[in-house]
Structure 1
Amino acid sequence: MTSDTPVTEKMARNGVTEASTSATSTAKTSRSSVLDPANFPQTLESPTIYISLVYDPLDIPAYLKFTRSAKAGANILFLGTTRDNFDHRPVSRLSYSAYPSLALKSLYAIAEDVQKKHGLEKVAIVHRMGEVKVEEESIAVAVSSGHRAAGWKGAEEILERVKARAEIWKKEWFADTGEMEEGVWRANRDRDAQGNILEKSNA
């Protein structure tokens, strides 16, 4: 999977290619320009790891195609979708923001670490930016492994670490306050794996 992002700089380091757009290569660029959808997708990848931030709907078949391996008997896919409620309040939509350059590096580091820990063949992590409507996917985590136990554990650990660490935040709009409401910023990690709320205050 190759990004269409206009590239001004490429660095090869330990088999990893990092593409930096003109919007992210200058400290003087405004945050709104950094998050301009025209500058996406932004990607970090190696032969066994694919990381991307996108504004478009997730291309799920492409991620599964990337992680497929002749050595893998298990292919695990997790899709995080926008639910219609939070803490008993109706949610109309979410919007995601990030520090792209930092988020990409954090996601890659997570993928690399968990890949080694669980012996995964390949890993793909893709997160959407901007508005994500109810029932639409905001994140895809795909992994392949020799056997299913490693795949299940690896995918779960990746997701938990992404939500806890990656420089990505979400803003919720509640249907009971109307569309004129500014929305509520939250940390990406608002619930644990069992659905228990971890963070109620604004992020």
Structure 2
Amino acid sequence: MAQDSSFEQRQDEGISVFLTSSALDLSGVVASVKSPKAGALVLFAGTTRDNFQGKSVTHLEYSSYPPRALKTMLSIAQTMKQKHALTAITMGHRLGVVPVAEESILIAVSAPHRQPAWTAGEEALEMCKEKVEIWKLEEFEGDQGGVWRANRDGPTHVPSDLASSNDISR
């Protein structure tokens, strides 16, 4: 779980959430949820793809208010752990520039059985995309610029050139 001193990590029993500007460490996140009590381990790795709606993507850039985002992530993880009787859950999100083919988010869950692990992993991801206070700037190739979005795919929001002229902070 790559960490950098700029961002806090919050933990509860069997729960870890973190934000970092460093590359995410898949094996570290998997190791954080492994347990002899768990018969299933599910890892979701959200990776920057090279295109969106027919446009070539050069990179994504994520921005957040870390104290608030971590609080929301912790709440989601606690809910998932209780609701699905998980052994453990770790959620980590990268901030700053994330190049194509690198991970933006990792969610790992472990549970005694596979179905709760699958379900909890999917629900945690959807809740994270819906609720966590993280925004992304999607930069396109050439003179197409970029657009700000909430941390999910969907309708575009403020074009990046308008964001800078209207003083919207990253």
CA deviation after TM superposition for structure 1 residue 156, in Å: 0.1
Give the structure 2 partner of residue 24 of structure 1.
none
What percent of counterpart residues are identical?
Answer: 43
Structure 1: segments with no counterpart, 5+ residues? 6-38, 191-197
- The separation in 1 between residues aligned to 2:151 and 2:54, in whole angstroms, is 18
Question: Compared with structure 1, are the counterparts of its residues 3 and 173 closer, same or farther at alpha carbon in structure 2 (3 Å cutoff)?
Answer: closer
Q: Let me know the Cα RMSD of the aligned residues.
A: 1.7
- The separation in 1 between residues aligned to 2:109 and 2:115, in whole angstroms, is 12
CA deviation after TM superposition for structure 1 residue 177, in Å: 1.8
Give the structure 2 partner of residue 175 of structure 1.
141
- The one-character-per-residue Cα deviations of 1:126-166 (angstroms, maximum 9, x if unpaired) are 00000000000000000000110000000000000000000
Question: Which of residues 69, 74, 89 in structure 1 aligns to 2:35?
Answer: 69
Q: Rg bigger for which structure?
A: 1
- The separation in 2 between residues aligned to 1:159 and 1:138, in whole angstroms, is 12
Aligned length: 159
Choose between structure 1 and 2: higher helix proportion: 2
CA deviation after TM superposition for structure 1 residue 111, in Å: 0.5
The one-letter amino acid paired with 1:187 is: A
- The separation in 2 between residues aligned to 1:111 and 1:47, in whole angstroms, is 11
Give the structure 1 partner of residue 152 of structure 2.
189
With 44-53 and 135-144 compared, the bigger mean Cα shift is at 44-53
Give the structure 1 partner of residue 116 of structure 2.
150
Give the structure 2 partner of residue 46 of structure 1.
12
Give the structure 1 partner of residue 158 of structure 2.
202
TM-score by length of 2: 0.88
Equivalences for residues 6-155 of structure 1 within 5 A: 39-40=6-7, 42-155=8-121
> Is the CA contact (8 Å cut-off) linking 1:89 and 1:176 kept in structure 2?
no
The one-letter amino acid paired with 2:148 is: W
The one-letter amino acid paired with 1:201 is: H
Structure 2: segments with no counterpart, 5+ residues? 160-170
Flag the structure with more relative contact order, 1 or 2, with Cα contacts below 8 A and sequence separation at least 6.
2
CA deviation after TM superposition for structure 1 residue 65, in Å: 1.0
CA deviation after TM superposition for structure 1 residue 88, in Å: 1.1
- The separation in 2 between residues aligned to 1:135 and 1:116, in whole angstroms, is 33
- The separation in 2 between residues aligned to 1:3 and 1:139, in whole angstroms, is 13
Instruction: Say which SS state the counterpart of residue 127 (structure 1) adopts.
Output: strand
